[in-house]
Structure formats: C-alpha cells, structure tokens
A and B are shown apart, each in its own frame.
Chain A
Amino acid sequence: MAQREITKEEIQAVYPTVAQILADALGCDLDRVKLDASLIEDLDAESIDFLDLVFRLERAFKVKIPRGKIVEDARGDLPESDFEQKGLVTEVGLKRLREFLGEVPPGRFRTPMKSADIPRLFTPETFCKVVVRAQRAAQSGA
C-alpha cells in the first residue's frame, strides 16, 4: 500500500514527546537524544529498551504499534525469503531498508548486514515515523 510521504512538520509535531520518552526509557539526558542518533550505538539501547520504548509510545500517543512493525513495513510486499536469507539481509532487502529508513545516514548501512543488526539503524526519527504512521492508521480506522 503506497503511503504519502511523512513530512518534516509531522515529524516535528511528535518529536518532543518521542525524545522525552526515549530519554526516560534509556535513562539518559534529553540533550543526548538527537534526531539521527543510532539508538544502539550512540544511546546504548538494548532489546528490552525497544520493548519499553514501544509500550511507552503506545501509551503516550494512544496508538497500537505491533512488535516488528518497522522491519515488516520496510519489507512491504517482498516475500520474506527475498528480504533475508540465512540471517543476512539480501541486496534487494537492503534497497528496501535504505528507501524505508531514509532518515538513516547512508554510511550506516553495512554490507553484508545481519537481519539481527537491523535495529542498529534505528534513530529517534525512525520512531517518530512509526508514531506518525500509527496515528494515520488510527485516523483511517485501520
């Protein structure tokens, strides 16, 4: 399903809350949270933090964010076997990720990339987009 692009205004509208939630979930100072920081590499996030983050975002924005939603949306209609093979993201999979995670600086996409390392790409902006998409879905009654 083609979705209209998320605007800077939409990101900016949710960013202050997302940044505060990130700082609370990660137990770090708000000024360490930058829009393009890598949550894992710059802010030391671990898997439990992502779980924490998603539940906090759901409560704050009153939306539903299914687990694994980012990768699922990035993959889109691409069959799973075309997206990843033997734990590695395929070339076509990487292309989808680059397009979907346009906020991530290009240098952070490594080849080969393990599927398990995809969360290393996520930034605060990634989660702003997750929230905006969830809000749009809620508004459209999806």
Chain B
Amino acid sequence: MAARFSAFSFVDRITAFEAGQRAKGQFAVPAGLSSFPACLVAEAVGQLAAWVAMAHVGFRRRPVAGLAGETRFVGEVTPGQRLDLEVELESCDDDAVAYRGCARVAGEKVLELSQCVGPMLPLEDFDAPEAVQQRFQVLCGAGAPGGGFRGVTPPELRVVDRQPGERVRAAMQVPAAAPFFADHFPRRAVFPGTLLLDSQIRLARGLADELPRPGASPLIPARVTDVKIRSFIVPGQAVELEAQLSQVGDVVEATLTARSNGKPIATGRLELSPRGLS
C-alpha cells in the first residue's frame, strides 16, 4: 500500500532510543510541499512518543490523541528543512502514556509539547502489530527513505454564524476518503486530532484578524493549552467548529470547541500573540 507509513507518518528515523524513557528522531519535510503546518510538527513529536510507548508495551497497544496540556509554537518550519525530534516519557502503561517533547530545526527549537497524555488502546484494532514492529526496526536502523508525505488538503470550513472579532461557528466536513486515512490507521480510519486542531486554529486566526488593532503586528498562534479530544472523528463526519475570542493586553485568547451532533468532541484554548512577542 503506497500510502502506508508515508501519507501521515512523520518519523523517518529514530536516532537515539532508551526503552520506555526517551528517544530522538528525525523527519525530513519534503521540499516539494507548499507548507508544513505547525500542527504537523506536533504530530511528528507525538508519533515519536507513540513509537517509544508502543515498544514499551511490546506492540500490544498504541496511544491515540487525548490530552495536550501545552503546545508552544516557537518557530516556523518550511518545506525542505529537517525536523529533529525529542521526546521523554513521564509514565507509560497499558492505559496511558504521558510525555513531553520538542522539535528543532538546525538546533533551534520550533515547537514544544508538555503535559501530553495519550490513552493506550489495542494496537491490533488499528493496525497489523507485526507490520508496525517491523517498521520500528527500520526506523531504529538505517531509517526509512522519507519524502513520501505529499501534504494534506485542509477540510473546507463553511461559516454558519459569526459575530466579527468575537465568535464564529463553522461547519467542517471531514472527507469521506483521503490518502492519510490509509496510514491513520490501516484497520480503522480516524481523522487526526492534529488536523482538527489545524482547522480550529485557522478558524480562530480568521476571527482574530477582524479585531481592530491599528498599527499592531499580525497575531500568530503562540500556544495551545488544555487540548482534550473526547472521541474519534471518522471519515465523512460532519463537525461544527466554534472559536470565541477574549483579549487580555496584547494577547488574544480563543476558546476552541468542536462538536458533532451537538456533543463536544474536542476542546482547547489558543493564545495568539503579536509576531515577535512570545
């Protein structure tokens, strides 16, 4: 399967590994992409943590997106650059993995994750455990060739209600089919939480751009806190996104909520700061 281990895989090589404790890895962002969103950098760090966690429990279970206490966006990543990833597990058992980590480009930190928790579920429900284990051996050895990621088309957001600069609600239709579903995951397609967050940030940025801030530099995402993903989002699912803004000094905070059939399925808070203030 061409998409397997490439359409939504963001670790090319594991360069240092301490069982159940920590790891370092790399991902070469393909040069041909038009961009590489910060949420995918977070995904790469999370995937490295997932490798350490899966290996720790003998590839019986795998983590899924659950909680991300704090994600700090420190710098931008452009196609053609290499991400150097680092994770440290705080705890890991059959129920959950707790970890922190970061990504660097040319020695400079671009993203930092802390207080992350992924519920651990049976690996065989999502993937063929043998194939995953074999891939792990490849990553820990010479590494995978890389370059297989072709980018992701963000789902279209259709605004259904807005109070400019205050609050916006938008309908997001998860595609019924997309290459990344073959990789995330082969036995059970799940819309990645990081892509959901990317759409939520897009919506909140659009709303923040409407704030009257004469002469001020543009607002950019500085950090996301208290992300909680309550349930899986499946191909073709209709999701409603909402962003609500509040402003404290130079910093604008957006409360992010995703609902499906009226029920919250993901929540978080985004801080947007003027460029240059972090």
Evaluate contact between A67 and B229: CB separation under 8 angstroms. no
Q: Does A59 contact B (CB under 8 A)?
A: yes
- Stretch of A1-9, A44-52, A84-92, A121-129 at the chain-chain interface: A44-52
Q: Does B228 contact A (CB under 8 A)?
A: yes
Q: Is the interface of B mostly helix, strand, loop or mixed?
A: strand
Tell me the B residues contacting A by CB distance below 8 Å.
66-67, 93, 95-96, 98, 115, 117, 119, 226, 228-230, 267
Q: Does A27 contact B (CB under 8 A)?
A: yes
Q: CA of A66 to CA of B226 in the docked complex: distance in angstroms?
A: 22
Q: From residue A69, how far is it (CB to closest CB) to chain B in Å?
A: 11
Instruction: Known pairs A51-B67, A67-B95, A67-B96; list 8 more (Cβ under 8 Å).
Output: A27-B267, A48-B67, A51-B66, A51-B117, A52-B67, A52-B117, A55-B67, A67-B93
Q: Is the interface of A mostly helix, strand, loop or mixed?
A: helix
Tell me the A residues contacting B by CB distance below 8 Å.
24, 27, 46-49, 51-52, 55, 59, 67-68
Q: How many A-B residue pairs have CB under 8 A?
A: 29
Give the residues in chain A near B66, CB-CB below 8 Å: 48, 51
Evaluate contact between B98 and A55: CB separation under 8 angstroms. yes
Q: From residue B102, how far is it (CB to closest CB) to chain A in Å?
A: 19
Q: CA of A24 to CA of B226 in the docked complex: distance in angstroms?
A: 9
Give the residues in chain B near A47, CB-CB below 8 Å: 119
Give the residues in chain B near A48, CB-CB below 8 Å: 66-67, 119, 228-230
Q: CA of A48 to CA of B115 in the docked complex: distance in angstroms?
A: 14
Give the residues in chain A near B67, CB-CB below 8 Å: 48, 51-52, 55
Q: From residue B29, how far is it (CB to closest CB) to chain A in Å?
A: 31
